[in-house]
Structure 1
């Protein structure tokens, strides 16, 4: 008999609200199945299981706020504690022995659950709304104050939003901005912890991206828009391949020191509609072809901006990439998201006078920056990492 527990979905998450069960007792579960929806400061997150078995018993009712690690359900046939997301696999770099953190002890007692009076109030205090209804309301920019809920205890359900959406074109509904206060508090807590605990060092490296731009133009030539690549697909793949050669930038720093990860799950910083930020992961980024990576990026960005990312995507990043190039920013100095140990930033591609082949020419130039944890790496290795990213982008046909 295994136990499915409230997952940790962020560096500073202490508790979450169980919004909805998507599986019921007696149903068979397979690795990766979505079992529940949990509300955190980042929004409603679909939570996966990573054990096969049968859902035996639910221990927590929807609408209940419980601490991380609280048993939520029992799963027959799994034989182990069911994880909400797989733990990172430790990998020791060949050139620097590192200590691997021991596994967390099993939960010996069920923490006291805290009942709450409202389910996932993401648009405003006191509102009760199902995850599907919330997503549609957000997409349609509906004012929930104008809706009449017909669900249990007056909760707004999907049918209520669908009915209202049909009236929206006639001007019956007004829009209002999303309540971002919980997300801003979560971001503030994580970034404050990062600057307080992590000894950052920063490096910046500018280089000519003519080869990458020319290869990209040739690849996209004649293809329909749905099959074209964007430049950020190349930078993501370059980062994934580079950290595979410099594993001290790909992993987590815990109580027992640094643990590198065998897997490379690159998190991408995504600006949310109306404000806020999330950085979910593209799993096994290094193994994806560029067209596969482009499809994964499009899917992840659209789901994240609609509030539809999954627990493994928000908890699994082993290194993060942030880009403000589309905003015209030439360079950025990002902050590491703990417990990760590195974040790489890319600015916009700009035209610069550049010395090449003994002459000065106008070339497309980009600045890549690295913020890294000095406990896990040093500036010498960081410089080699940025140089390797440049080399990979200089030969885009090999990405």
Structure 2
């Protein structure tokens, strides 16, 4: 028996509300399959399953809010049998909508009283009830011997309001609280150190202009994609900045998955992961970045995109700021900040000239690396951007 639990989608999540099941008891599931949609403080997130098996029980219903780590479903492993598998009690869950109160609650059971009989329900009705998130025990059957039929389930479904995600106003308030909690934890627990370097961008911009010259607007690259690729390639040489601090030790990331800070239109910030950045060509990264930003701003992301970033990059140059000194998002151990690209006085070959530059910063966890290591990393990012052909 495999327990499928409410996943943690970051340091700022302590609970999630189930919006919808995408599977029903008896369904086969495979690695990476979306099995549910969960509402968090930041988005309605598609939850992926990372085990192989067959759905045995769905333990919570749409509208239930449960803490991270709570079992929400069970799966049968290959060769497992539903007849011999033990059933788990459903977890205690907070309902999103208030439940109607019973005017005269039934008296408490007395010692020696006969236990309640199990609800009679046809197999097809049980599966349909699970799909719709309806508790079969609450249904009244009209079939033989009072059995619940498919028609009974459908009749209730037409009367049951769908569970809706949080409103934009509610989500924004919850997001600010979640961000405050995560950043407070970060500054309290992580011994930050900060470094910055002014990086010449003229060579990269000239290469970019030549590359984009013959392309239609929808296929052109933005400078931010060059930055992401340079950071990812540099992390290959400086792996102590790419990973997590968990249980008192550094754990390398499973790949180079960069969290991309996205400002939301209603306010707030989210940093979903762009996966395997170092190994992807620039046009593919540009396409995936555009899709990720669009889905982040429409609150439609996958659980792997919110939980697997190994380092976050925040680029605020479009806001006109010269530099960004960010707060590390735990359990990550580093964050790269990039300010605006602008012409600045620059000394080259003994002469002062105007050169397009940007200030790059590094916020890093002193438990996982030190200033010398971080400085070498920034120097490598700078070197990569002077050789845009190699990106």
TM-score, length of structure 1 as denominator length? 0.77
The answer to whether the Cα contact below 8 Å between 2:41 and 2:171 also exists between their aligned partners in 1 is no
**1:214 equivalent among 196, 202, 206:** 206
**1:195 equivalent among 187, 190, 197:** 187
Alignment of 1:1-16 (within 5 A): 1-16=1-16
Structure 1 position 218, deviation (Å): 0.6
Structure 2 residue 314 is matched with structure 1 residue 322: yes
1:57 corresponds to: 57
**Aligned partners of 1:334 and 1:304: how far apart in 2?**
20
Task: Note closer, same or farther for the CA distance 1:110–1:319 as it changes in structure 2 (3 Å cut).
Answer: farther
Q: Deviations over 1:332-382 (max 9, x none)?
A: 110000000000000000101211122221110110000000111111011
**Aligned partners of 1:14 and 1:78: how far apart in 2?**
32
**Aligned partners of 1:220 and 1:363: how far apart in 2?**
21
The answer to whether the Cα contact below 8 Å between 1:248 and 1:377 also exists between their aligned partners in 2 is yes
**Aligned partners of 2:374 and 2:252: how far apart in 1?**
15
**Aligned partners of 1:351 and 1:316: how far apart in 2?**
36
Alignment of 1:1-399 (within 5 A): 1-77=1-77, 112-118=91-97, 152-155=159-162, 179-399=171-391
**Aligned partners of 2:218 and 2:354: how far apart in 1?**
31
Structure 1 position 176, deviation (Å): 8.4
Give 3-state SS (helix, strand or coil) of 1:238's partner: helix
Structure 1 position 111, deviation (Å): 8.3
Structure 1 position 26, deviation (Å): 2.1
Structure 2: state its 5+ residue gaps.
81-87, 99-156
Structure 1 position 112, deviation (Å): 3.8
Give 3-state SS (helix, strand or coil) of 1:180's partner: helix
**Aligned partners of 1:59 and 1:177: how far apart in 2?**
30
Q: Deviations over 1:174-230 (max 9, x none)?
A: x98675110000000000000000010100100211110001001101201111100
**Aligned partners of 1:111 and 1:4: how far apart in 2?**
13
The answer to whether the Cα contact below 8 Å between 1:67 and 1:113 also exists between their aligned partners in 2 is no
Structure 1 position 62, deviation (Å): 1.4
The answer to whether the Cα contact below 8 Å between 1:42 and 1:278 also exists between their aligned partners in 2 is yes
**Aligned partners of 1:66 and 1:313: how far apart in 2?**
21
The answer to whether the Cα contact below 8 Å between 1:51 and 1:78 also exists between their aligned partners in 2 is no
| CA-atom RMSD in angstroms | 2.3
Task: Note closer, same or farther for the CA distance 1:341–1:19 as it changes in structure 2 (3 Å cut).
Answer: same
The answer to whether the Cα contact below 8 Å between 2:19 and 2:164 also exists between their aligned partners in 1 is no
Structure 1 position 291, deviation (Å): 0.6
**Aligned partners of 1:350 and 1:238: how far apart in 2?**
19
**Aligned partners of 2:63 and 2:254: how far apart in 1?**
37
Task: Note closer, same or farther for the CA distance 1:394–1:151 as it changes in structure 2 (3 Å cut).
Answer: farther
**Aligned partners of 1:296 and 1:343: how far apart in 2?**
21
The structure with the larger Rg is 2
TM-score, length of structure 2 as denominator length? 0.79
How many pairs align? 325
**Aligned partners of 2:264 and 2:385: how far apart in 1?**
28
**Aligned partners of 1:296 and 1:223: how far apart in 2?**
18
The answer to whether the Cα contact below 8 Å between 2:33 and 2:49 also exists between their aligned partners in 1 is yes
Give 3-state SS (helix, strand or coil) of 2:369's partner: coil
Give 3-state SS (helix, strand or coil) of 1:322's partner: strand
Structure 1 position 58, deviation (Å): 1.1
The answer to whether the Cα contact below 8 Å between 1:328 and 1:348 also exists between their aligned partners in 2 is yes
